[in-house]
Amino acid sequence: MTHKHVIGIDLGTTNSAVSLWLNGHAQLVANAQGKLLTPSVVGLDDSGNILIGESARQRLQSHPHLTQASFKRYMGSEAQLMLGTQRFRAEELSALLLRQLKQDAESALGEHVHDAVITVPAYFNEIQRRAVKTAGELAGLNVVRLLNEPTAASLAFGLLENREQKYLTFDLGGGTFDVSIIDMFEGVVEVRASSGDVMLGGDDFTEAICQWMLDQHPALRQRLPELKPALHAQAEQLKCALSSGNSASAALEWQGQTWRWTLDEAALAEYCRPLLERLQQPVQQALHDARFSLHDLDHVLLVGGATRMPLVRQTVARLFGRFPRHDLNPDEAVALGAGVQAGMVMADVAVEDIVLTDVMPFSLGVEVVKQQYGQIEDGFFLPLIERNTFLPVSKMKSVSTVYNNQSQVELKVYQGEGRRVKDNILLGEMTVSVPPRPAGEVSLEIRFTYTLDGLLEVECSQGEGVEAARLVIEKTPGQMSEQQIAESLQRLAALKQHPRDRAENRALLARGAKLYSFLLGDERAWVDEVMSAFEHALDSQDARIISQMREQVEQALSRFENGVPQ
């Protein structure tokens, strides 16, 4: 293949994964621990080295002040997340994770990678989407495409079963819930509608179990801040155990006393009922927007780790009157779909006949004032692009001045479905100068263009003869400035990485492991010895020793690599 590699990344709230398009299909890449999923956790070890993935996750409970999880929830906000005494934005923690996934893909490929497709919850707003692009940039990645998560899973499924069909993808992850309705025909994967809830996921079920645990032993409430991490871990374990058994037990030791719980499905169902009810609305919304009835669907596809819960599966079965399908591993489907999209970006022949169309899941518009009953009232929402319109889309509307001699117009861009802007999300604002004239005589034409990535461009022109100006949305809340990005790049580069995690060392470790699995007998034992010596050097954390050893190991390995299949 002549085209350089594009990787596909599922940047999840709980787990992340990276995939490659190789030999006509998408496949997930194992990390240095041999696992396909990397926990989305970042931390510092006791010597100040950055830890990413499983090694960080293991310290969530023991070192909560040095560890951060679920930071995806803060993407596109100014939230400061602490690792010890250092402050990070969610984009920066995400960048550290993305950097690691990039390196894993590079180790597997044996070459550098720059381009990536990254998935985002369909319901991520403009600001959150830009934050993901920024995180990619901070990780040294060029984000060629942002892809909605349920769309990615649907794409992976569509390729598995390439025929005319209509289906609904039900994606319940750790922190978000996304629904998409897909119409597939002649290689076209058409997303007809998306809906979701960015505040609903498996973590909320864990939280409900925490509440049940506290109701069982109310005395524990007194020391909640201190007990919370341990309680949460027990609740998570109970939840997962109930996915494969009828009841599950947990125990917690505190102040010389042991507290015990046994949870069964009936109690779980009672505490989770409000959450299960919330699963319905986005499904109905998506069906309505797609103008589909339940009977039009050939099947329902489950995606996301939380769909392993029998309660969730039962709710889906009841909602749709049939059993859902889970052909794809629910934790891997999104990353696989990102890999398929990567193949499409690389214009691979195996996917040249596949066409993907997506929609924008929310409405976009501007604030306007209304003249009613002789009074001027502001704060109304004028939608320019309505939700679930096919992408890319460009729409225009005209607005006029409302005051005599007004010299400027404040253009405020909102996202949402509320009639009044106070119920919607402010995406940004800009000021446009206008010539002072009597009210209503100056009109502005506003054009919104929404790209396949789900990013918005705003153009504004003042009637005939005046050239349209493309306006940058200024004052976007929560967005990093160019200067902040430049400073952050320096800061992240200066963070200490354990030598074992550095790209060049990881690549060499991967090379050694591959050679070891290929060889047999004395030669294999010899590679084992060479690699042990290298690991010992890495543990010394002494740059000089490591670089000398790396050179020796490289030479030693290359002597045996002739004849090893690539």
Residues at the interface with Mg ion (CB under 5 A) = 12, 173
- Asked if 128 touches ligand ADP (CB under 6 A), the answer is no
Which amino acid is present at 362? Answer: F
- Taken in order 158, 160, 164, 168, the sign of the CA dihedral is negative
For 348, 417, 425, the CA distances from 422, given in Å and listed in that order, are 46, 11, 8
Q: What is the DSSP letter of 163?
A: S
Read out DSSP for 75-112? TTS---EEETTEEE-HHHHHHHHHHHHHHHHHHHHTS-
Our CB check for Mg ion shows the closer of 173 and 428 to be 173
Q: Which residue has the tokens 């201190």?
A: 226
Shortest distance in whole angstroms from residue 175 CB to Mg ion: 9
Q: What is the DSSP letter of 218?
A: G
Our CB check for ligand ADP shows the closer of 16 and 461 to be 16
- CB burial of 535-548 (b: ≥16 within 10 Å; e: otherwise) equals eebbeeeeeeebee
Site for ligand ADP in 34-93 (CB under 6 A): none
Our CB check for ligand ADP shows the closer of 282 and 305 to be 305
- Asked if 158 touches ligand ADP (CB under 6 A), the answer is no
Our CB check for ligand ADP shows the closer of 106 and 203 to be 203
Site size toward ligand ADP, by CB under 6 A: 20
Site for ligand ADP in 283-322 (CB under 6 A): 304-306, 308-309
Residue nearest to Mg ion (CB): 173
Shortest distance in whole angstroms from residue 180 CB to ligand ADP: 15
**Residue 470 zone, left/alpha/beta (φ > 0; ψ -120 to 50; rest):** beta
Our CB check for ligand ADP shows the closer of 305 and 428 to be 305
**Contacting residue, 173, 324, 343, 499, with ligand ADP by CB under 6 A:** 173
Structure tokens at 505: 């060392």
3-class secondary-structure state, position 376 = strand
Shortest distance in whole angstroms from residue 146 CB to ligand ADP: 15
Shortest distance in whole angstroms from residue 549 CB to ligand ADP: 37
Strands, E, within 98-159: which ranges?
115-120, 142-148
Q: Are 15 and 360 in contact (CB under 8 A)?
A: no
**Contacting residue, 92, 104, 236, 501, with ligand ADP by CB under 6 A:** 236
Site for ligand ADP in 391-420 (CB under 6 A): none
- Asked if 178 touches ligand ADP (CB under 6 A), the answer is no
What whole-number distance in Å separates Cα of residue 28 and Cα of residue 508?
20
Q: What are phi and psi of 54, to 5 degrees?
A: -60, -40
Shortest distance in whole angstroms from residue 213 CB to Mg ion: 26
Shortest distance in whole angstroms from residue 142 CB to Mg ion: 23
Taking CB under 6 A as the rule, which mask of x and - marks residues 247-286 in contact with ligand ADP?
----------------------------------------
- Asked if 478 touches ligand ADP (CB under 6 A), the answer is no
Shortest distance in whole angstroms from residue 273 CB to Mg ion: 24
Q: CB atoms < 10 A from the CB of 70, how many?
A: 17
Our CB check for ligand ADP shows the closer of 15 and 401 to be 15
| Partner from Mg ion, ligand ADP, none contacting 236, C-beta within 5 to 8 A by type | ligand ADP
Our CB check for Mg ion shows the closer of 124 and 516 to be 124
Shortest distance in whole angstroms from residue 173 CB to Mg ion: 4
Which amino acid is present at 94? Answer: S
Shortest distance in whole angstroms from residue 37 CB to Mg ion: 10
- Asked if 337 touches ligand ADP (CB under 6 A), the answer is no
Segment interacting with ligand ADP, rule: CB under 6 A, options 6-14, 122-130, 216-224, 257-265:
6-14
Q: What is the DSSP letter of 29?
A: P
Shortest distance in whole angstroms from residue 149 CB to ligand ADP: 7
Shortest distance in whole angstroms from residue 367 CB to Mg ion: 33
What whole-number distance in Å separates Cα of residue 129 and Cα of residue 123?
10
Shortest distance in whole angstroms from residue 215 CB to ligand ADP: 21
What whole-number distance in Å separates Cα of residue 264 and Cα of residue 249?
9
**Contacting residue, 53, 76, 174, 383, with ligand ADP by CB under 6 A:** 174
Do strands 425-433 and 443-450 pair parallel, antiparallel, or not at all (unpaired)?
unpaired
- Asked if 203 touches ligand ADP (CB under 6 A), the answer is yes
Count CA within 13 A, CB hemisphere, residue 470: 3
Our CB check for Mg ion shows the closer of 169 and 234 to be 169
Shortest distance in whole angstroms from residue 20 CB to ligand ADP: 20
What whole-number distance in Å separates Cα of residue 476 and Cα of residue 76?
10
Our CB check for ligand ADP shows the closer of 181 and 306 to be 306
Our CB check for Mg ion shows the closer of 12 and 324 to be 12
Read out DSSP for 223-279? GHHHHHHHHHHHHHHHHHHTTTSSEEEEEEEETTEEEEEEEEHHHHHHHHHHHHHHT
- Asked if 331 touches ligand ADP (CB under 6 A), the answer is yes
Q: What is the CA radius of gyration of the chain?
A: 26
Please, is 491 exposed, middle or buried when counting C-beta atoms within 10 Å of its C-beta (0-12, 13-18, 19+)? middle
- Asked if 13 touches ligand ADP (CB under 6 A), the answer is yes
Our CB check for Mg ion shows the closer of 329 and 389 to be 329
What whole-number distance in Å separates Cα of residue 147 and Cα of residue 167?
18
Our CB check for ligand ADP shows the closer of 173 and 196 to be 173
| Residues at the interface with ligand ADP (CB under 6 A) | 12-15, 173-175, 201-203, 236, 239-240, 243, 304-306, 308-309, 331
